[in-house]
Amino acid sequence: MINHIIGKLLQGRYQIVQSLGAGVFGQTYIALDVDYPDNAKCVVKQIKASSFESNYLDTLRLLFLTETETLKLLGSHQQIPEFIACFEENKRFYLVQEYIEGHALTAELPINQEWGSVWSEREVVEFLLDVLGILEFVHSQGVIHCDIKPENLIRRAADGKLVLIDFGSIQSIDFGIGAELPIHRIPVTSLGYIPPEQFIGETQPNSDIYALGMIAIQALTGLEPLQLKADPYTNEIIWRSQNTPVNDYLAAVLSQMIRYDYQKRFQSAGEVLRVLKQMIWEPQPKQILTPDIEDEKSQNPVSGKLSPLFTGMKVGLAANSLLMGVGVYSLVNTSPAYSETETLSQAKKEYQAGDLQEAIALVKSIPSHSNIYPEAQATIEGWQEQWQVAAQQYQLALAASYEGKWSDVIDAGRQVPDILYWRNKTDKLVQKAYINIEAQTEDLLAKAYESASIKDFSTALRYLRQIPKESSAGAIVQDKLAEYNRKRQIRAAYFLNKAYSQASFGNFDSAVKLLKNIPSDALVYAEAQVKLNEYTQKKIASAKRKNFSLSRNSATKIQYFQLENQLQQLNIR
């Protein structure tokens, strides 16, 4: 099969010159684009078809359109190959993508500790940060790659950046087609990187995180995933040994990435990124040591340097001692009368309780010769400003509550300054807002699910977008927004494809009806409108031809009857 296609010209443009290998869902080739003077290279992927029956091909065509729309979105990222074209030829489906000049990550990884060199911790962290940034984008588009492995990470020759390729396995994610992944269908190079849940059709976004963690461990240890053993009781991968010098922090991160139970892993690429960025390699700040700490260091010569945690504690103690020294100096030399300090404290209590006038009166009773007089005057000015803001925000929250604008209630509540009196008043409104938002969310979610069940994804999305961002269902809403938006695009592309098919048979009426189902916010809407106009014109022209034909037939019949009548009158018959 592979040999037969080498040298073949597809679409009169893409000449297959080399096989790149086979995946779960198809065969990949390098091709030359003969339309370009320099015959630019590109990657052509042929989607595998196990049957040529009409129903199967319709299903496969839908999957093909799914991947096509996805690749168009993903190709906008600078570390994912750009989508070029897609087409169907002789009942086979093809994707064309940008060819990345470079080498696979396999060329950089140690196969074992007798060949090549294991990576340093810094190299592993930089690698993880690079790829996690790509995965964060991929997952934000509602897509799971499902086949992260060294062969699918290309070090681009132009800039040295890693590029994630081969999104062929994504097509089973949203529609549950071929949910389970039989081991005999998996390329040998993918084994060991695929997490356990993926074999039973429960693929998660953090399934990609598992695979990435296994690559990082391979880089650190020089052992391939299948060479690592698992704990017989917990099923957790045992990878860290005395021969693997790695600090506890990075080891904990990697172990969390490859947990057997996906619910116990990091839940998102962004979460791993945040954790890793906390261990960026920077010089430690200069230590501030008090005399007692110097003595302690000299008396305990176990190590030439303190651990970062211990150093942080010492620096904190030293800073506190310095501040305490300043405070003591102030109290000894410029201590205000106890009654004035008590007056200011009482004024603060009145202010928090809601009696601004009494609080101001108390502060004004502090004499001008007092050491706390400047502080007291500044306090009055600050209180008046905060009180005005608090009163204004409370009124906004109250008005929004009357109008049922619950998100506005919460926004106003967040901007109320830290005054106990106004906080208590606003919190009651905010609590009421949250209760109503949850009820509103439940209703809108039900309507969205109902619309989605009849494949009206545009209406479902409209309901989802009405759900306030403060809802506790925020994560569900974001997931469903991504899911329904993607399905809407796929459905629109499917209608466009069916319209093309109907028009090819001259069924312009059916084609027009299909195109009218494509929503205005679909990616293919502009193309659909062009075809809608074209097919509408052809439909009208076809109808005119039929009417003209009928008119001519009717006129001929009338002339015949008129002539026959004349013959009868002349007794010629």
Q: At a CB cut-off of 8 Å and minimum separation 6, what does 405 contact?
A: none
* Cα–Cα distance for residue pair 277/14, rounded to 1 Å: 44
Q: Which residues are annotated as a binding site?
A: 45
Three-state SS at 357: helix
- The pLDDT assigned to 530 comes to 92
Compute the distance between CA of residue 435 and CA of residue 337 in angstroms, rounded to an integer: 50
pLDDT at residue number 566: 61
**What is the reported pLDDT for 375?**
80
Using DSSP, state whether 229 is helix, strand or coil.
Answer: strand
Which of these is catalytic: 33, 58, 147, 418? 147
Q: How far apart are CA 452 and CA 243, in angstroms?
A: 54
- pLDDT at position 81 is 92
Report the side by side order of strands in the sheet with 162-164.
102-104, 153-156, 162-164
Provide CB contacts within 8 A for 155, sequence distance 6+: 102, 103, 104, 105, 107, 108, 161, 162, 163
| Apex 21 CA angle, 173 and 151, nearest 5 | 70
Write down the pLDDT at residue 485: 87
Identify the residue whose tokens are 């098919």: 501
pTM, entire model: 0.49
Give the CA-trace dihedral at 362, 365, 370, 371, to 10 degrees: 20
Reading the chain (573 residues) residue by residue, the pLDDT tens digits are 456 788 899 988 999 999 887 665 678 899 999 888 777 899 998 876 666 666 767 777 776 776 677 788 888 899 999 988 888 888 788 889 999 999 999 999 987 555 568 899 999 999 999 999 999 999 988 888 888 999 999 999 999 999 999 876 543 333 333 444 444 455 566 778 989 888 887 889 999 999 999 999 999 998 899 889 888 888 899 998 767 778 888 998 999 999 999 999 999 999 999 899 877 554 444 333 333 333 333 333 333 333 333 233 222 222 222 222 223 223 233 344 447 888 888 888 999 998 888 888 888 888 877 778 888 888 888 888 899 899 999 999 999 888 888 889 999 989 999 899 998 989 989 999 899 989 989 999 999 999 988 888 889 999 999 998 888 888 888 888 888 888 888 888 888 988 888 888 888 889 899 999 898 888 889 999 998 999 888 888 877 777 666 555 555 556 656 656 665 665 544
Largest CA distance in the chain: 145
Q: Tokens 């922090």 correspond to what residue? A: 249
Concerning whether 166 is annotated as a catalytic residue, the answer is no
Please report, in range form, the residues annotated as the binding site for ATP: 45
